[in-house]
Amino acid sequence: MTIRTRFAPSPTGYLHIGGVRTALFNWLLTKRLGGQFVLRIDDTDSERNRPEALTPILEGFRWLGIQWDEGPEVGGPHTPYFQSGRLELYQKAAISLLEQGLAYPDYMTKEELDSDRKLADNQKRAYIHRGPLRDNSKDDNLIRYRKNPAPIRLRIPENKTLLVDDLICGRCVQDSNLVGDPLILRADGRALYNFASVVDDISLGITHIIRAREHLSNTYAQTVIFEALGTSMPKFAHIPVVNEPKSKKKLSKRDMAKFVTVEVRAKLNSVGFTDEEISNRDDLNPATVAYYRELGYLPEAIVNYLARLGWSLDDKTEFIPIPEMIAHFSLERVNDSPASFDPDKLFWLAGEYMKILPMDKKIAGCLPFLKRANLIQDDPNPQTRALVESIISAAGERIKLFSDIIALARPFLKSTIEIQPQAQEKFLKTPGTAEMIRSFLEKVEMANPFDSTTLDHCLHEFCREKDLKPGKLVQPIRVALTGTSVGFGLFDTFAILGRDESLARIAAAILISG
RNA sequence: GGCCCUAUCGUCUAGAGGCCUAGGACGUAGCCCUCUCAAGGCUAAGACUCGGGUUCGAAUCCCGAUAGGGUCACCA
């Protein structure tokens, strides 16, 4: 029997980092063992459900390369893969439990429940719900329900030890007397997540349920449902949660707004997002995948990073391409304790993947960022493309994120450069600089051909003649050519700019300098 | 509060009783290389939560304390 796993997101409008990791572990195990990975949409809560909120999730997974074998848009033998389209299934299952006396209708009002809960709270004990009809005869319960439909609750058996054999947590036990009777179906026939989830897992033939640790305590009640529905238990693996950076708190979907700090906002601004867009889109947030995509992170880096968050290949390997990951992934090497999300390490990994990215892919990745920054046209002509290529090539390993191209390429794609005030002060305004640049300009004008080798030779010769350290000349020239004191090799810079533009910029700098 | 889970450098981790004077990685600091930056090379600081056992021997097993987290919804 092949394994079947699933990931069941609710359509929230964004793909959460923690969720992706859970999905990834499911996917990796499935690929490793050769089975099907199912995407199922948990949209039972109609209030929260917006159809357009699904697209970002699907797009996110596709971008990451995590392809589902069954689910929305790809279909499969168990269509539909939306819980909203499977309501009948849950209703049937709930009624069948009712008929067997394993569930009962509960006519308690919200007010009654609330006051019971409050009472328990005041007495500092856990509230364990037991509806009045749980021990009533099943026939009578059925008659009452038919006459007057009410919410249906599962009848948790008394004095039993509920057992979850977890692939990661080991054998976990819970006294059934400490588990309240969970609601499984609302009076209007809509199922609740914990019930719908089990019914679907059974109907979809899910063999391994890999999910976040926070679901472990739900699992005890779910084991009762599995048993009541007459199927064998799937294998459970409750993976540790992802914590906030440098924190012991869960990286939660609630309260995500706090991650949009001034630094985050500045990064988003720098790739062209307005403050308005940032506040209107809830996926422009470091807790979502879209954020990293918009900043130009390579998807492979995110997958690699997330896989290593809680899982390790061995005692030293950090860089693990996806095929390798699939070949070696195992639940045995998933850690037992929560892990904090570390943006710094993700950033480093993004750079590592960028280093090995072929040039054509690098160009393809950079172009959209240049367009968004209005540095090139929508449909760049061959000359522009060639220029961009030479810039990317000269930038080398300075590009870690695609968005890095914006700052790096700006001096070459704009006809007028802005000279940074500090750079101007430090490298152009110092005494004697104007004269030095002027005489260097005279020498450079003679350079023929105007290429790296000749210019390199020319500069070193000049420095020897004037008894100058190359650095003393290079920095002012760099500022003259690009407006900043950091950038790529000076001769690459000359070569990209070309003779005329280079000479013009140096001449302009002499005026500023002198 | 009840119940459950977890506990190695700031962070991610290796470690399944002797290979551990605890290894790697990110980050940090310093040095080297160098036309700046990036990359690269070298070096440094930096951890077994605490207390009891078990054992010839414990980061590793057991118990307890402590701390953190999760969960107790007509949310998913």
Which residues of chain A between 41 and 70 are close to nucleic strand B, CB under 7 A? 42-45, 48
Integer Cα distance of A27 and A105 in angstroms: 39
**Strand B closer than 7 Å to the CB of A333?**
yes
- How long is the CA A169 to C1' B51 vector, in angstroms? 26
- How long is the CA A15 to C1' B35 vector, in angstroms? 45
Low-confidence ranges of chain A (pLDDT < 50): none
**Strand B closer than 7 Å to the CB of A342?**
yes
Closest alpha carbon to A253 in A422, A53, A399? A53
Q: Determine which helix (DSSP H) or strand (DSSP E) holds A171, and give its type and residue range.
A: strand A170-175
Protein CB footprint (7 Å) on chain B nucleotides = 1-8, 10-16, 23-27, 35-39, 68-76
Alpha carbons within 13 A on the beta-carbon side of A379: 0
- Residue range A432-466, pLDDT digits in tens: 899 999 999 999 998 888 988 899 999 999 999 88
Is the four-CA dihedral A36, A37, A43, A45 of positive or negative sign?
Answer: positive
| Phi, psi at A379, each rounded to 5° | -125, 80
**Strand B closer than 7 Å to the CB of A328?**
no
Which residues of chain A between 346 and 405 are close to nucleic strand B, CB under 7 A? 347-348, 351, 396-398, 400
Integer Cα distance of A198 and A229 in angstroms: 9
Determine the pLDDT at residue A47.
52
| Phi, psi at A197, each rounded to 5° | -60, -45
- How long is the CA A309 to C1' B20 vector, in angstroms? 25
In which region does residue A442 sit, left (phi positive, over 0), alpha (psi from -120 to 50) or beta (all else)?
alpha
A110 C-beta neighbours (distance < 10 Å), count: 7
- How long is the CA A190 to C1' B31 vector, in angstroms? 67
- How long is the CA A353 to C1' B15 vector, in angstroms? 29
- How long is the CA A240 to C1' B12 vector, in angstroms? 14
**Strand B closer than 7 Å to the CB of A149?**
no
- How long is the CA A285 to C1' B66 vector, in angstroms? 36
- Residue range A62-72, pLDDT digits in tens: 999 999 999 99
Nucleotide nearest to A175 (CA to C1'): B3
The residue that minimises its CA distance to C1' of B3 is: A178
The residue that minimises its CA distance to C1' of B34 is: A471
So what's the ipTM on this one? 0.96
What six digits make up the tokens of A203?
Answer: 């109907």
- How long is the CA A69 to C1' B58 vector, in angstroms? 47
Which residues of chain A between 160 and 189 are close to nucleic strand B, CB under 7 A? 169-170, 172-175, 178, 180, 183, 186-187
- How long is the CA A337 to C1' B72 vector, in angstroms? 22
Determine the pLDDT at residue A246.
87
Q: What is the pTM of this model?
A: 0.95
Which residues of chain A between 223 and 252 are close to nucleic strand B, CB under 7 A? 240-241, 243, 246, 248-250, 252
Closest alpha carbon to A294 in A304, A285, A303? A285
**Strand B closer than 7 Å to the CB of A294?**
no
Determine the pLDDT at residue A45.
66
